[in-house]
Structure 1
Amino acid sequence: MTRQEGDPRNVDPQGAEPAAPPAGRPLPGDPLALLGLLRPLCRVLLLLLPVYVCGRLGLSLTWVLFGLFLWIFWNRNKKSKLARMRAAWELLDNESLEVTRGLNTQQLPAWVNFPDVERVEWINKVVRQMWPYFGTYMEKLFQEKIEPLVRASNGHLNAFTFTKVHFGDKSPRINGIKAYTKKVDKREVILDIQLCYTGDCEINVEVKKLCKAGVKGIQVHGTLRVILAPLLSDVPFVGAVTMFFIQKPHLEINWTGLTNILEIPGVSDMSDGMIVDLIASYLVLPNRFTFPLCGQVNAAELRFPVPQGVLRVYLLEAEHLIPKDNYLKGIIKGKSDPYAVMRVGNQNFKSRTIKENLDPRWNEMYEFVIHEVPGQDLEVDLYDEDPDKDDFLGSLVIGLEHVMKDRMVDEWFPLSDVVSGSVHLKLEWFSLLAARDKLPEVSDW
């Protein structure tokens, strides 16, 4: 029997070509294969490095355990922040679906909870279309303007560089607008804009190719008030535009590189708080941004208007607060060490702490300068003072419109978000008058 051409048995075994390796598997001697073997080894050596350093320096095992616990808490805080960021992105991508699922009311758009807040989807579509062009402008601004300023500010920063500036694909969103045209001056229009920015921006910096840091993802949301005043009978019909945040906006930043140290619990709150305070020093009441549109307007009067009044708050007492100081995993019931934090816009006051008391009596008085009504509210939060982290005992928000109208309110206010508890407050409103002849009347009163 003869062998036919094309029969695989006709191939000389010595001249046969070697079989090709399976797809995806690197060839022997491939640098990628060597790198894949060295990567786990380098990771193990990196994890063992703190142990070696502690042993070299003669430190105890306590330092290693402390570093391990610190890394665990940092990793947990990082994952929780990323989870909140992803949830906000999902809400931004499919708002109607998330609303029907019944998401947390703190994340729902304002038009869901307040019928007088209007949806403005057409504005969001315009902003979404313009966002890439705004991002290009900001990238040039960071690299051509801000980078030279940072380098010139300090000799150690002469190698400072923005390695990446990208404002992402997710544009800011307006969750609703509330317009005030009644009970306000006829020559002005007031708009409260529920602003939300859940961005996938990425900004990386580098100093001498050694220090690398940056931001990857940011959340900012708050109420931005826009005042169009005074209204004119000539073009452009509006004399100036004034903008400010009524209260401090909520801020959350996902750090990268060396700034990952800011994700450590405690440090994260402090760093975010410092950035919010910096924003508040420019954009939160009583600070304002005013843009004149014509020469007939006095910008100083619009930027520094006379406050509408003074709110005097008497923090008298509370009752039926929940006990938070429990011992032996709740077997022994304790009490609480309550104190109150009162806030109006950028003004904060903290009361003294009453030890071991669920029905505390403070009898303290505080005064707040009120700039915008409606808009500003009195916020009261109660906490139980602890050595590590203070426990929440309840909160309440009081609108100042009816206080301004009634001049005096003396009531018990129930606390929200807790099982029980109420606070006794006495509120007094004092209007500011420019007439000097009214001073005797005030002194007699």
Structure 2
Amino acid sequence: MAHQPVDAQHSVEWINAIVEQLWPYINGAAQDWLENTLLPEIGDKLGSSVSLTIDKFDFGQESFRLEGVTVYPKRDASRLIVVDTDINYDGDLHVSALISGVSVGVQNVKLTGRLRLLLGPLLKKLPLLGAITGFFLRSPTFSYELTGVATQLDALGLQPLIDGAVESIINQTAVLPNRFVYVLASESVDASIVQYPDPQALLEIKLLGLSNVDSKDIGRHKKSDVVVKVEVAGLVFQTSAYEDVKNVTLNTTFKAILNEHEDTIMTISVLDEDKVAGSNAVYEKIGSTEINLSRVKPQDSLTVTLDESKSTELSLELSRFDLHSLVPQTVSTTESYLVVARLGRIEGIQLSGSTTFSGRLALGDKEWQLKVANEVKGDTASPLTLSGSGVFTMAVDSPSVDYAVQISEQNASDPAQEVGLSEGMVEFKVTPGSRIDTVDLTVKLSDTVTAAFSVSLKVLVAATSSAE
């Protein structure tokens, strides 16, 4: 018998009561997080030309509240309890700061969003839950007010930088595909697997065309220069501009990796592009639509009329492919695959407080920049973790992939220099009915430096049933 999600608003008040009593003690923990995590990240976003010093940070007396809780029914293959809740903060947090010599304050901070909590994996021994994982399905709404000489920030051009830095940190910390994890049973749970799980599906988005596009430009033709933007699962895709169109064939395909099917919202916006000589293009929204991917067929054709538009219609096709390590009996030589790479540790580097490290990973023709976290323990060499590395994925048409791993170091103002580089190829044996093994690699970047990582292959199989 199918079980429906349970809405349990009344049962969450005890959690709000506990949070309210814990709130005064959160200030101390928050100070450490502020100084060691948040401030350095904001500084990186603002750049070296902007200085930032916090004089006072106080969470105040008003705690956040959880509302609108939904508990989802258990899935057969899942060892997770899935809970969605609305989080609402409208408190009296106060910050005093000095930004490039300008004294400012922050007040009236508000944040609202839909938060998903994954409780698990479930264990058959105490503490029963291996970890608690949380993330926002979409970017939360965040606002604040600046006090003091905030107008000087506008004059210095710092206000947009600050807004962008805060928004970027929220998205990169807690909005899918990013997630925060608190491990409860470290001996039973691999934190990296919990924080960066293997992707569940690949979504192919084919934009077919637009018709009856609203006119935004002024002139004899009164037509729009159209750009289509697709946002899904933390990714943003955008077409090139189509000039002076009323109806246009797009035939553009994007591919997105999905971590969570349920309640994953895809937003498609149609924009009018205006180019101004000597400056960046300016975009005006013609209309947009939101598509809940849990409510569409695995292979679906849609024609939607855009919200906020008089008549603009968008035609598209969606195809979802499940990812399998077990090769189907009917696998063909033209099957498509997804390569999944995980980087672990870099060893053999002598660390010092004045040296920073960066990295690069390439799979085929796709490349990622890696942020390497220094773990300096006195003068001893300790392993480097590739923070934020997570899972790297690339769609391929054959069961093999070229790879390259590179690490560079930079000391003070000196230019970055290569520590080591390793290149090679991984080939997978794909036999109908068999399981594809993960390949664990330890490669030499130099005479003393090694990198450990794993590469796995998933077969893309067209989904045959809609998401629940």
Q: TM-score, normalised by structure 1?
A: 0.62
Aligned residue for 1:239?
Answer: 130
**In the alignment, does 2:132 pair up with 1:248?**
no
**Aligned counterparts of 2:38 and 2:93: Cα–Cα separation in 1:** 18
Higher relative contact order (CA closer than 8 Å, sequence separation 6+): 2
Kept in 1: contact 2:84–2:116 (CA 8 A): yes
Residues 290, 302 of structure 1: 8 Å contact kept: yes
User: 1:130 aligns to what SS in structure 2?
Assistant: helix
Q: Which residue of 2 aligns with 1:111?
A: none
In structure 2, the residue matched to 1:61 is none
Residues 137 and 401 of structure 1: CA distance in aligned 2, closer, same or farther (over 3 Å): closer
> 1:268-326: per-residue Cα shift (whole Å, max 9, x none)?
45532332222322322222322221222232322222111100001111112222224
Q: 1:275 and 2:163 equivalent?
A: no
Are 1:317 and 2:202 an aligned pair? no
Q: Identify the residue that residue 29 of structure 1 maps to in structure 2.
A: none
Instruction: Indicate how the Cα distance of structure 1 residues 333 and 263 shifts in structure 2: closer, same or farther if over 3 A, else same.
Output: farther
Native 8 Å contact 1:252 1:272 kept in 2: no
Select 1:127's aligned residue among 19, 22, 28.
19
* TM-score, normalised by the number of residues in structure 2: 0.59
Q: How far does residue 365 in structure 1 lie from its aligned partner after superposition?
A: 0.7
Give runs of aligned pairs for residues 34-433 of structure 1, distance below 5 A.
116=7, 118=9, 120-135=12-27, 138=30, 162-183=54-75, 185-206=77-98, 211-257=102-148, 260-262=151-153, 268-294=159-185, 295-326=187-218, 334-387=222-275, 389-403=282-296, 406-433=297-324
Alignment CA distance shift 1:377-1:141 (3 Å): closer
- Provide the C-alpha distance between the structure 2 equivalents of 1:340 and 1:221, rounded to a whole number of angstroms: 28
Bigger Cα displacement from structure 2, 334-343 vs 247-256 = 247-256
C-alpha distance in 1 between matches for 2:38 and 2:75 = 47
Quote how far apart the aligned CAs of 1:437 are: 6.2
Distance 1:363 1:138 in 2: 49
Unpaired stretches in structure 2, ≥5 consecutive residues: 276-280, 337-468
CA apart distance, 1:242 = 1.4
Classify the secondary structure of the residue corresponding to 1:413: strand
Change beyond 3 A, Cα 1:267–1:350: farther
1:206-265 deviation digits (Å, cap 9, x = unpaired): 489x64233223222222221111222332221211122222333223233455455579
The verdict on how the C-alpha distance between 1:319 and 1:207 changes in structure 2, with shifts beyond 3 A counting, is: closer
Change (3 A) 1:207 1:322: closer
Name the structure 1 match of 2:425.
none
Shift, 1:416, TM fit: 1.8
Q: Secondary structure at the match of 1:271?
A: helix
SS of equivalent to 1:134? helix
Could you say what secondary structure the match of 2:311 adopts?
Answer: coil
Percent identity over the alignment is 27
Letter of the 1:325 counterpart? D
* Cα distance change, pair 356–302 in 1 and its aligned pair in 2 (3 A): same
Deviates more, 1:391-400 or 1:134-143: 134-143
Please give the secondary structure, in 1, of the residue aligned with 2:146.
strand
Q: 1:271 is matched by which residue type in structure 2?
A: I
Is the partner of 1:324 in helix, strand or coil? coil
Distance (whole Å) between structure 1 residues aligned to residue 33 and residue 250 of structure 2: 52
Q: What is the SS of the residue equivalent to 1:343?
A: strand
> When the two structures are aligned, how many residues end up with a matched partner?
319
What amino acid sits opposite 1:373 in the alignment? Answer: H
- Asked whether the 8 Å contact 1:220–1:252 carries over to 2, the reply is yes
Amino acid at match of 2:146: W
Distance 1:132 1:353, change over 3 A: same
Cα distance in 2 for partners of 1:324, 1:267 equals 31
Greater share of strand: 2
Relative to structure 1, the CA distance from residue 433 to residue 336 in structure 2 (aligned partners, 3 Å threshold; closer, same or farther) is: same
Letter in 2 for 1:239: G
